[in-house]
């Protein structure tokens, strides 16, 4: 569906749809799977065939109209089977779909099965104070089909207003559903953006779907790739399928910790990048490219790389001012350290010093030194030794006052 063209309308709809989500969890979640336990058949003389009857969660018998997505309250159907014939219902459905299309510009996909339940107007229990609804029984995970509930008088309204509205809700929901919502280990719903490596927190996506469009995200990814190649001479190839999660920090800092804005984290052999939207869209920090370098180094070397060199390479894409004054001499105490200093000041020195050393290393030896370094470590040479022997030692001697340690 052409989401972009109908952005404003969809945003307006998404606000309305939020109410529906609430509603559906409070009322619509009664288990309709039980329906089919109560299913039975009876013969209808008019149609001259067996008709399947189910009971909904309120124990109201509904007739399934063969060959359609319609269920009609049995007492209505028995009163006038002709009115509720498949052709008649589908004719009205088609009209409402056309109206919804004219309003939204998206096509209601016939392959998408949204069942439509038609109830008698005085079925107070069914509707309570609600007139008609598009229900989803569980926002993201359900084997149940979404369904529309509609009152008889509204269904047969000649303008099809209510049915059109419900179809528009359904279309909106199905647009989102197509984007594939997952829930991460922190129970945060994320939408997988099709044909990308990106997962975007649902609330961010809902707020601005265009910002998180496939084209926009892939553009950012390609810019990051170019930046990486430009700065350290390594190609971020397509085999490095590290997923990228764009998420807000939550109140408890559960996702990022107190000081982190972006991470590349690895569990077993599977890595993922998590990044805050503010950092994702920041050109000062280039956090995406920074984390992608970590992912890339992990792809080639696993854990066999010194942390200082790892961060030194990753910070090549950061603005030099990010970590401190470039004219400062690197601090020997944190150079090529294999752990993050816990003190904030020391941590900044750690990033800055290693960034500084690696920058000068690449300047002196040329960008081709980085792939050379990778190959050397892949052959089993310790990463610090490889770095020092490939010109790192010279750079440290030149830039540090006290280099005896090396």
Is residue 221 within 8 Å of residue 228, measured between CB atoms? Answer: no
Q: Which of residues 73 and 311 has its CB atom nearest to Zn ion in the complex?
A: 311
Judged by CB under 5 A, how many residues of this single chain contact Zn ion? 2
Site string for Zn ion, 341-360 (x = CB under 5 A): --------------------
Binding segment (CB under 5 A) for Zn ion, from list 119-127, 218-226, 251-259, 309-317: 309-317
Please report whether residue 76 would count as binding Zn ion according to CB under 5 A.
no
Which residues ranging from 233 to 262 are in contact with Zn ion (CB under 5 A)? none
Q: Which residue is nearest to Zn ion (CB)?
A: 314
Q: Which of residues 97 and 279 has its CB atom nearest to Zn ion in the complex?
A: 279
Q: Which of residues 251 and 345 has its CB atom nearest to Zn ion in the complex?
A: 345
Which of 32, 175, 234, 314 lies at the binding interface for Zn ion (CB under 5 A)? 314
Name the minimum Å distance from CB 226 to Zn ion.
Answer: 19
Binding segment (CB under 5 A) for Zn ion, from list 71-79, 207-215, 313-321, 338-346: 313-321
Name the minimum Å distance from CB 315 to Zn ion.
Answer: 7
Please report whether residue 296 would count as binding Zn ion according to CB under 5 A.
no
Please report whether residue 369 would count as binding Zn ion according to CB under 5 A.
no
Binding segment (CB under 5 A) for Zn ion, from list 77-85, 155-163, 243-251, 310-318: 310-318
Q: Which of residues 132 and 318 has its CB atom nearest to Zn ion in the complex?
A: 318
Binding segment (CB under 5 A) for Zn ion, from list 96-104, 214-222, 251-259, 304-312: 304-312
Binding segment (CB under 5 A) for Zn ion, from list 29-37, 189-197, 234-242, 303-311: 303-311
Name the minimum Å distance from CB 262 to Zn ion.
Answer: 8
For helices 369-378 and 344-365, the axis angle rounded to 10 degrees is: 110
Q: Which of residues 13 and 234 has its CB atom nearest to Zn ion in the complex?
A: 234
Binding segment (CB under 5 A) for Zn ion, from list 168-176, 238-246, 314-322, 326-334: 314-322
Residues that bind Zn ion (CB under 5 A): 311, 314
């Amino acid at each position: 569906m052409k989401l972009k063209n109908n952005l404003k309308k969809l945003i307006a709809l998404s606000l309305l749809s939020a109410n529906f989500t609430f509603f559906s969890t409070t009322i619509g979640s009664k288990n309709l799977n039980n329906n089919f336990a109560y299913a039975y058949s009876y013969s209808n003389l008019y149609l001259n065939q067996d008709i399947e009857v189910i009971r909904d969660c309120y124990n109201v018998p509904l007739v399934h109209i063969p060959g359609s997505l319609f269920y009609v309250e049995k007492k209505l159907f028995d009163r006038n089977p002709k009115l509720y014939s498949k052709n008649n219902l589908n004719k009205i459905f088609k009209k409402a779909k056309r109206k919804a299309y004219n309003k939204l510009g998206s096509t209601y996909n016939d392959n998408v099965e949204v069942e439509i339940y038609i109830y008698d107007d005085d079925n107070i229990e069914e509707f309570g104070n609600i007139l008609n609804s598009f229900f989803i029984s569980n926002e993201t995970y359900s084997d149940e089909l979404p369904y529309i509930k509609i009152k008889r008088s509204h269904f047969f309204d000649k303008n099809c207003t209510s049915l059109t509205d419900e179809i528009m809700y359904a279309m909106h929901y199905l647009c989102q559903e197509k984007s594939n919502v997952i829930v991460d280990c922190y129970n945060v719903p994320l939408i997988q953006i099709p044909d990308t490596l990106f997962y975007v927190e649902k609330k961010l996506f809902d707020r601005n779907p265009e910002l998180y469009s496939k084209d926009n995200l892939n553009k950012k990814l390609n810019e990051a790739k170019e930046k990486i190649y430009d700065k350290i001479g390594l190609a971020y190839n397509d085999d490095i399928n590290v997923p990228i999660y764009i998420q807000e920090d939550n109140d408890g800092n559960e996702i990022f910790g107190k000081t982190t804005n972006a991470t590349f984290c690895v569990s077993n052999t599977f890595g993922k990048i998590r990044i805050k939207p503010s950092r994702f869209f920041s050109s000062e920090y280039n956090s995406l490219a920074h984390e992608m370098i970590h992912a890339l180094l992990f792809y080639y070397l696993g854990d066999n790389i010194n942390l200082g060199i790892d961060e030194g390479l990753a910070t090549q894409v950061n603005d030099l001012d990010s970590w401190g004054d470039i004219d400062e001499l690197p601090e020997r105490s944190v150079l090529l350290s294999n752990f993050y200093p816990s003190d904030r000041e020391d941590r900044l020195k750690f990033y800055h010093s290693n960034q500084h050393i690696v920058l000068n290393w690449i300047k002196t030896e040329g960008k081709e030194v980085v792939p050379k370094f990778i190959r050397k470590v892949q052959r089993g040479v310790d990463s610090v030794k490889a770095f020092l022997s490939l010109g790192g030692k010279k750079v440290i001697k030149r830039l540090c006052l006290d280099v005896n340690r090396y």
